[in-house]
Amino acid sequence: MEYEFTLNGVPKTITVERKDERIFVHHGDKTLEAEVRVISANAFSFLVGGRSCLVIVARDKDKKYVWLNGRTYLIQSGREEQRQAERGDDRAQKGKSVVTAPMPGKVVKVCVAEKEAVRKNQTLAIVEAMKMENEIKSPLEGFVKKIHVSAGDLVDSEKPLLELEAKT
């Protein structure tokens, strides 16, 4: 069975076949064989050629955090473009840009007004989280199309702060 994931924005496709307690994973031109045991709701034990590897999986909506050998992989189901289309996300569209906060926090200040012209890297807003103020910079040169937040608002990392339109 084929699976499509996205890791750091890059699509990854693997095929997994099962035979008894073994799985055969085809990834690129390589095939990996592992014996698998489900340990708990969050953990798998893999034996790969006699080497033991504990894998921990935690999920949050379409995101999976997979930990193994001291390393964490953030894996998203499906392909990036598909997900964006599903969300009605127009960030990918040309000449338009939705600015989001890099992390959840509180808007301390909105530094621009609607219709205002902005330079690239100009500070658009300041979002504070955990006692640190973070300047949100403009990714492009253009003008402010719409502002969605005001000082004091709480934002998460997906909520749009403002929309820009690139200079034509």
Query: Count of CB atoms within 10 A of residue 48's CB?
Result: 13
Question: In this chain, which of 36, 47, 108, 166 binds other proteins, going by CB under 8 A?
Answer: 36
- Please report how close the Cβ of residue 103 comes to other proteins at its closest, in angstroms: 6
- Give the per-residue contact string, 92-131, with other proteins (x = CB under 8 A; - = no): ----------xxxxx---------------------xxxx
Residue 44 touches other proteins, criterion: CB under 8 A = yes
102 to 56, 76, 85, 135, 151: CA distances (angstroms): 26, 18, 21, 10, 17
CB 160 within 8 A of CB 114: no
Q: How far apart are CA 21 and CA 3, in angstroms?
A: 19
Residue 60 touches other proteins, criterion: CB under 8 A = yes
Q: How far apart are CA 26 and CA 136, in angstroms?
A: 41
Residues within the interface to other proteins (CB under 8 A): 1-3, 5, 7, 12, 14, 16-21, 23, 25, 27, 30, 32, 34, 36-42, 44, 46, 48, 53, 55-60, 64-73, 75, 77, 102-106, 128-132, 134, 154
